[in-house]
């Protein structure tokens, strides 16, 4: 899993049948210090995340382990909205104190 920040959404009216009703998000990955990396990724949203929230992303075959997603052609899925991240006793992120 990796931590990422939601930067936007992807809208698609034509898609593979198994993806109907799936919301897609544009994510910007974060490094271990909470700094944004130059890498972006599109992920299926399983939890209702919104722009600027920090989320946990599952990738590869693990992204299809979510119930109902086993047959979807997805290689990245948002599986949690993060409330706080603490490292070595230091608060790195708090949803309540978003910038």
The domains located in the chain, with CATH, are: 2-97 (2.40.50.220)
pLDDT at 75: 83
Measured torsion, CA atoms of residues 88, 91, 95, 99, in degrees rounded to the nearest 10:
-130
- The DSSP symbol for 73 reads -
Q: How far apart are CA 58 and CA 69, in angstroms?
A: 12
Q: Would you write out the chain's pLDDT as a tens digit for each of its 99 residues?
A: 899 999 999 998 898 887 888 899 999 999 988 899 999 999 999 899 999 999 999 886 555 555 555 567 778 899 999 999 998 999 999 998 765
pLDDT tens profile 14-37: 988 878 888 999 999 999 888 999
Q: Which tokens is 35 given?
A: 């700094």
Q: 44 by DSSP, 3-state: which?
A: strand
């Amino acid at each position: 899993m990796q931590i990422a920040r939601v930067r936007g959404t992807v809208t698609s009216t034509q898609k593979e049948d198994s993806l109907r009703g799936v919301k897609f998000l544009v994510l910007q990955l974060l490094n271990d210090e909470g700094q944004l990396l130059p890498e972006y990724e599109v992920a299926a949203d399983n939890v209702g995340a919104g722009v600027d929230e920090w989320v946990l992303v599952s990738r590869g075959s693990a992204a299809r382990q979510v119930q109902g997603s086993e047959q979807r052609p997805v290689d990245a899925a948002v599986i949690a909205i993060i409330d706080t991240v603490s490292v070595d006793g230091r608060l790195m992120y708090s949803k309540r104190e978003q910038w």
